[in-house]
Amino acid sequence: MAPALEAQGGETLSQNSFLNSVGDVTNRSKVTVIGSGNWGSVASKLIASNTLRLSNFHDEVRMWVYEETLPSGEKLTDVINQTNENVKYLPGIKLGKNVVADPDLENAVRDANMLVFVTPHQFMEGICKRIAGKIRADAEAISLVKGMEVKMEGPCMISTLISHELGINCSVLMGANIANEIAVEKFSEATVGYRQNREAAERWVHLFYTPYFIVTAVQDVEGVELCGTLKNVVAIAAGFVDGLEMGNNTKAAIMRLGLREMKAFSKLLFPSVKDSTFFESCGVADLITTCLGGRNRKVAEAYAKNGGKRSFDELEVEMLQGQKLQGVSTAREVYEVLSHRGWLELFPLFSTVHEISSGLLPPSAIVEYSEKSPRSF
């Protein structure tokens, strides 16, 4: 099955520009992955397998690692480079001998013209400011980051933040991608969202595509990115349902209502968002898998089982071994947007998730929000 790119109307885009460049070793792209958590390590593994295979990429893949000292006293970067394994965030999986861990962010990005961002969204602005003016002029980026920045002037998507801070084109990759399943090469799909640059989209598709990781592209950055961002809020709601043992019917209802609010919120912020994007891997498929098996659902379940008496911060530290939740912070950011724009009544599920997560309502309120009688959209 060949990598597929879909433009408006669903037609397949030409891959000639990519294929014609395969033999051009004088213009090989160099890749750096900025982030080394669970998903960042899996992304590095995927990419590294392809840079060895495709002659228009340099073999080496740099992976920036936020340096940590392991219980053994060793530095995480040293252990990754010695064992070819991220023993903290992806134990038991070999990343590829061409993956080089680098604790120096500026050094890691210096020579790369393809930058893959995959860190918790709350750290992105600081990372971008650190490398602004220190990357190649011809660099392009892709964001695997779920979340948004909320500023006085309104919400800012992470891809927009990257473009504005670094002055480069930024695509996004989202999908039904539980990292540990992809790490052991179970079949999965993902969606690349791009703006105008189809050739850049082709390069990203080929960089990530493997027989077990099928990647398609659509010309809808905001739609793809908002799907990846907002599904974590719905997953928190699904976790509350699981923790309260409300059953599959209730969970299905919450997921359907969540998808409806995801679509409405996206189209209110960005009228250009396409309805069809919600049927890509980044949309309904990602929502389903995250509500069934993601970390946001898992921790929200524990929160509900404890009656909201233990904070999400406490549960995150206990349950995720250094990984970060996205759903709770995204719910807060979405709530800020809704409150500022007077949209709270339009989005009762999103609003209630934040109010439960912040301790204003009990977990059982997740099925009581419908009594607010929201206006239709």
Main-chain phi, psi angles of 351, to 5 degrees: -65, -45
d(CA 7, CA 134): 33
Distances (CA, A) of 298 to 29, 49, 184, 210: 38, 31, 21, 29
Query: Of the residues 45, 88, 231, 263, which is catalytic?
Result: 231
Residue whose C-alpha is closest to residue 39's, from 119, 115, 105: 119
- Consult the annotation and say whether 326 binds a ligand: yes
- Consult the annotation and say whether 136 binds a ligand: no
- Consult the annotation and say whether 122 binds a ligand: no
- Consult the annotation and say whether 35 binds a ligand: yes
| Torsion sign over Cα 329, 154, 226, 140 | negative
- Consult the annotation and say whether 342 binds a ligand: no
**Residue 258: half-sphere exposure toward Cβ, Cα within 13 Å:** 33
Q: Strands, DSSP E only, in the chain?
A: 4-5, 29-34, 57-64, 99-102, 114-117, 140-143, 148-151, 154-157, 170-174, 188-193, 213-218
d(CA 327, CA 333): 10
Q: Is 231 assigned a catalytic role?
A: yes
The pairing of strands 99-102 and 213-218 is: unpaired
- Consult the annotation and say whether 123 binds a ligand: yes
- Consult the annotation and say whether 267 binds a ligand: no
- Consult the annotation and say whether 38 binds a ligand: yes
- Consult the annotation and say whether 179 binds a ligand: yes
Q: Which 8-state DSSP code applies to residue 285?
A: I
d(CA 221, CA 316): 30
- Consult the annotation and say whether 146 binds a ligand: yes
Give residue 86's identity as a one-letter amino acid code. N
Distances (CA, A) of 61 to 39, 148, 266, 298, 301: 15, 27, 34, 32, 37
d(CA 169, CA 117): 13
- Consult the annotation and say whether 28 binds a ligand: no
**Known binding site: residues?**
35-40, 123, 146, 179, 295-296, 324, 326
Q: Please list the active-site residues.
A: 231
**Known binding site for NAD(+): residues?**
35-40, 123, 179, 295, 324, 326
**Known binding site for substrate: residues?**
146, 295-296
